[in-house]
Amino acid sequence: MQAVCVGSRSAYQRLVKRHLKSISHYAYRLLGNQKDTQDITQEVFLRLWINAQKWDSEKSKLTTWLHRIAHNLCIDYLRKHTRIQTQDSFDDEAAHSPANNDESTEEINDKTKLLREALSALPENQRSALSLCHYQGFSNKEAAAIMNISVKALESAIARAKRSLREKLTINS
C-alpha cells in the first residue's frame, strides 16, 4: 500500500487482484445488478489510487477501508436511484439461472428467488449489515466500522434483517 501511495502501478495491480472479488461481491449484494456493480467496483479502485495516502494502517485494515468506500458509494447510488430498478434486476438475474426440470431443483430456485426478493426488499442498512457479517466474513466490530454505526446498532440491524427474511420466507412457503 505504501508503494501505491508513491504511485506504483504494479502494486496497485496486485491490490486490485487481491480485493476485486470481495468488493464486487459486496457491491452486488447491495445493488443487485451487474452493470452498477461493475461501475461501483471500478470507482472503488479509482478512489483507492487517488486517496491511498488517506488510509491509516493503524486505524483499519485495508479490506475494511475498501469495503467502507464501496459501502458509501453503494449507499449514495441507492439513494439516487429508485429501488424498483434493483428489484427488476434481481428478477432478471434469477430468470437467467439455469433451467432444470427436476422438481427439487425448481423448489430450490423458487426459494432462491423468494430470498432474493426478500433481500432486495430489506432496508439498505440491514442488507449491508447482513452482507458484511454473513457473506463477507467481517466481525461485528469491523462491519460496524464499515457502516459507521455502533456495534449495537449493527446487531440490531442484523437481527431485524434475519427476522424479516424468516417471516417472508415462512409466509411465502
Out of 61, 81, 83, 166, the only residue in the binding site for other proteins (CB under 8 A) is 166
Alpha-carbon span 107 to 35, nearest angstrom: 28
Q: Are 26 and 66 in contact (CB under 8 A)?
A: no
Out of 3, 75, 121, 149, the only residue in the binding site for other proteins (CB under 8 A) is 3
Instruction: Write out the binding residues for other proteins, residues 67-126 only, by CB under 8 A.
Output: 93, 108, 111-112, 114-116, 119
Nearest to 12 by CA among 51, 45, 61, 55: 45
Alpha-carbon span 100 to 112, nearest angstrom: 14
- Identity of the residue, 45 or 55, whose beta carbon is nearer to other proteins in the bound complex: 45
Nearest to 25 by CA among 13, 37, 39, 17: 37
Interacting residues with other proteins (CB under 8 A):
3, 6-13, 16-17, 20, 24-25, 28-29, 34, 37-38, 41-42, 45-46, 49-50, 93, 108, 111-112, 114-116, 119, 134, 155, 158-160, 162-163, 165-166, 169-170, 173
